């Protein structure tokens, strides 16, 4: 079995062990120490700025091979 296959199997196994957490909309890790209200306010402020903008540029960073 290759290293890539071992890593893939390990990741899938861990994701299955946390499926109840994911199903309830959570994550198995703390992604941020930001309070939810502050994040919501940031998102609302960003949405207002996008709404007022004349144009919005979007893009994707280059993908790296693992």
Q: Can you tell me the mean pLDDT for 53-60?
A: 81
Question: What global pTM score does this model have?
Answer: 0.35
Q: What tokens were used for 16?
A: 């299955």
Kindly state the helix (H) or strand (E) to which residue 55 belongs, with its residue range.
none
pLDDT band for position 59 (cuts 50, 70, 90): confident
Q: What tokens were used for 56?
A: 């919005």
Give the model confidence (pLDDT) of 6-37 as tens digits: 888 877 777 777 777 777 777 766 666 666 66
Do the Cβ atoms of 16 and 10 come closer than 8 Å? no
Do the Cβ atoms of 32 and 38 come closer than 8 Å? no
């Amino acid at each position: 079995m290759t290293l890539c296959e071992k890593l893939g199997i390990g990741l899938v196994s861990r994701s299955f062990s946390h499926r109840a957490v994911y199903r309830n909309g959570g994550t198995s890790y703390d992604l941020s120490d930001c309070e939810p209200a502050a994040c919501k306010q940031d998102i609302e402020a960003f949405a207002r700025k996008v709404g007022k903008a004349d144009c919005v540029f979007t893009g994707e960073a280059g993908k790296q091979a693992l």
